[in-house]
Amino acid sequence: MSGYFEGVLVLLAVNIVFAYGAFLPLAAGQLNLGLAGFAAIGAYAAAYASNSWSVAPTLAIVLGGLVAGVVALAVAVPVLRTRGIYLALATFAVGQIVQATILNLEIVGGAAGYPVAAFIRVPTIAAFAAVIVVIVALLFATRFGIAVRALHDDEIAADLMGLHVRAIQVAAFTIGSIIVGMGGGLYAHYFSFIEAQNFNIALSITVVLYVLLGGTQSVLGPLVGAAVFTLLPELLRGSQSWRYVVFAAALIVLMALRPQGLVTRGQLRRLFKVNRQPEGIAA
Amino acid sequence: MKAERSILELQDVTKHFGGLNVIENLSFAVARGSRTAMIGPNGAGKTTLFNLVSGLLSADAGRILFDGHDISAVPSRQRVGYGIARSFQNVRLMPHLTALENVMVGQHSRCGGLFGILQPINLLPNSRWRAEARASLADAGLTAYENATVASLPYGVQKRVELVRAIMARPRLLLLDEPAAGLNSGESEALQQLLDRICANTAMTLFIIEHDMHFVGALCDHVVVLDFGRKIAEGTLAKIRDDPVVQRIYLGTAAASKERNHATRCA
């Protein structure tokens, strides 16, 4: 496998993991712009565990995800009290705090960055991504998944049916952060070097874009979004410096034509012919 | 004498929004197993009262007793666990979920903790929850719509899906806010028969807000009349119809309607 192809594949897998981490809070109607911060926590915690305690990389990556989850849980309780644009700003602030903290943390190299000794190969990364996709897909087939989507639509009606709205929101945010943290750990152990600048707001926004453009209505949305928007810039590589202009223009066209994202539930049903009943049948 | 029989009892309940007294010292009881209607002009405080009972609003004074327990301080989320479910004046379904998923949201209060929440009910076509939800939809004549996204369904169908969702919570008291509004006469009759059947099969108490007196007459055995947050009359529909105060405020008098008919004929 050529180095270039392998690099794209790894990027694709890591982006898919990030996208599913962003998908969980988004499906519950919450915009998390601090997910780069949780990716950083996961990356640094995993790298520290494998560097300093010689923990096996795969275990270190899971550990990194859990550390990100613990921080997310602690942050979720105050931050998720805010809504809409305020929630976006609050989570953005969390991301900035994490980045600034890492810059000043000498034990993991501070501003100079942090080399990672252990290394994982493409199959491991691909397996991680696949397992995460399957877990999220399973989770969304449970009552929890229905509940997450229900309170995205109507929190008051959900509350009156007995759904614990805040607990479900905190759970979605925390599980999402665990996944994002594991994505950070995967990144760290493939590229062998991490620095705080890798985990800036641009990463958060890009990943949220994957999910929004892929569609938040179904579990396939993040997969399609991450795949299209990782591979599309690569396909446009021929046009050299113009490729990002073309890419951005493609984004705008897509948002105008399909504001609900590439994949919607209605479309999936039509595709798989689950719903064969004719429209407007007499009641 | 009422305290023993009533499923819901309001004691001197008061609610005001700023300087506006929406509910004033309101006291009445809904008898267990009854089908009670609440009628009154717009702005009488009927929906506010539903919001107080379902916990979306909290009363400024007074107590609300459900089955003898004071639920005034119980959070809205937990009231469905006591056995109170409701529908809304403007349908509040989850538009992105299918009819079946909406109905399964109604089962949430009975699903039994974390294990129930993590059961992949959408992957197990034969799970008892799914079977139960489908049976209820079938009973309401909604099988054709079970996999349709709710936002795409006609209003009358959405109203019935919302009703089935509320019933899925197996409530002891079902609050319906204008169930017949916006339905044509055929749909309204079908709804009345559905409610008749459900009430006959369960021990559920029905408490509805409704302007359609024909619907009320066909379904309900007791009527409470509200005006400016006060109860002005209570009794059977026949008794309410003859009450001069209710006629003046809400139903209109025979003389007035004769005049109106005359006017229309002349026009």
> Percent of chain B at pLDDT above 90?
62
Cross-chain CB nearest to B97 (options A141, A153, A280): A153
**What pLDDT band is residue B257 in, cutting at 50, 70 and 90?**
low
**What pLDDT band is residue B4 in, cutting at 50, 70 and 90?**
low
HSE-CB at A93 with a 13 A cutoff on CA atoms is: 12
Q: Give the mean model confidence (pLDDT) for residues B15-23.
A: 90
CA distance A183 to chain B (A): 24
Q: Please, is B114 exposed, middle or buried when counting C-beta atoms within 10 Å of its C-beta (0-12, 13-18, 19+)?
A: exposed
Who contacts A167 (Cβ-Cβ below 8 Å, separation ≥6)? none
A interface test, pick of B51, B96, B139, B170 with most A CB neighbours within 10 Å: B96
Q: Do B77 and A138 touch (CB under 8 A)?
A: no
Instruction: Tell me how far apart the alpha carbons of residues A69 and A1 are, in angstroms, rounded to a whole number.
Output: 35
**What pLDDT band is residue B241 in, cutting at 50, 70 and 90?**
confident
Cross-chain CB nearest to B77 (options A150, A162, A274): A162
CB contact A167 to B (< 8 Å): no
CB contact B145 to A (< 8 Å): yes
More confident residue, A261 or A44: A44
Residue A276 has pLDDT above 90, yes or no: no
Q: State which residue of chain A sits closest to B138, comparing Cα positions.
A: A283
Q: Where are the domains of chain A?
A: 3-200
Per CB-CB distance under 8 Å, the chain B contacts of A162 are 77-78, 80-81, 108-109, 169
**pLDDT on residue A33:** 93
Pairing status of strand B222-227 against strand B35-39: parallel
Question: What is the sign, positive or negative, of the torsion defined by CA atoms of B99, B102, B108, B110?
Answer: negative
**pLDDT on residue B1:** 43
ipTM of this predicted structure: 0.88
**What pLDDT band is residue A22 in, cutting at 50, 70 and 90?**
very high
CB contact B165 to A (< 8 Å): yes
Which among B176, B157, B156 has a CA at the least distance from the CA of B166? B176
**pLDDT on residue B262:** 56
Judged by DSSP in three states, B48 sits in: helix
Which among A41, A28, A246 has a CA at the least distance from the CA of A140? A28
CB contact B54 to A (< 8 Å): yes
Q: Do B121 and A146 touch (CB under 8 A)?
A: yes
**pLDDT on residue A279:** 42
For chain B, count helices (H), then strands (E). Answer: 11, 10
pLDDT in tens, B36-60: 999 999 889 999 999 999 999 999 9
CA distance B95 to chain A (A): 7
List domains and CATH numbers for chain B: 6-83+171-266 (3.40.50.300), 93-165 (no CATH)
Neighbours of B245 (CB within 10 A): 12
**pLDDT on residue B244:** 86
Cross-chain CB nearest to A266 (options B88, B104, B149): B149
CB contact B94 to A (< 8 Å): yes
Cross-chain CB nearest to B94 (options A150, A277, A281): A150
Among A37-51, A141-155, B248-262, the minimum mean pLDDT is found in B248-262
Question: What is the sign, positive or negative, of the torsion defined by CA atoms of A28, A33, A34, A39?
Answer: positive
In Å, the largest CA–CA distance within chain B is 69
Task: Report the run of H or E that residue B42 belongs to, with start and end.
Answer: none
Residue B2 has pLDDT above 50, yes or no: no
Instruction: Tell me how far apart the alpha carbons of residues B92 and B95 are, in angstroms, rounded to a whole number.
Output: 8
Per CB-CB distance under 8 Å, the chain A contacts of B117 are 142-144, 147
Residue A281 has pLDDT above 70, yes or no: no
Residue A232 has pLDDT above 50, yes or no: yes
Instruction: Tell me how far apart the alpha carbons of residues B267 and B264 are, in angstroms, rounded to a whole number.
Output: 5
Q: Report whether A133 contacts A14 (CB < 8 A).
A: no
Which among A28, A34, A75 has a CA at the least distance from the CA of A169? A28
Pairing status of strand B205-209 against strand B173-177: parallel
Instruction: Tell me how far apart the alpha carbons of residues B223 and B236 are, in angstroms, rounded to a whole number.
Output: 6
Q: Report whether A115 contacts A193 (CB < 8 A).
A: yes
Judged by DSSP in three states, B98 sits in: strand
Q: What's at B42, amino acid-wise?
A: N
Residue B3 has pLDDT above 50, yes or no: no
Task: Report the run of H or E that residue B62 belongs to, with start and end.
Answer: strand B61-66
**pLDDT on residue B267:** 46
| Residue carrying structure tokens 């712009």 | A33
More confident residue, A248 or B230: B230
How large is the angle between the packed helices A201-214 and A84-103, nearest 10 degrees? Answer: 140
CB contact A271 to B (< 8 Å): no
Q: Please, is A96 exposed, middle or buried when counting C-beta atoms within 10 Å of its C-beta (0-12, 13-18, 19+)?
A: middle
Query: Which residues sit opposite A92 in a β-bridge?
Result: none
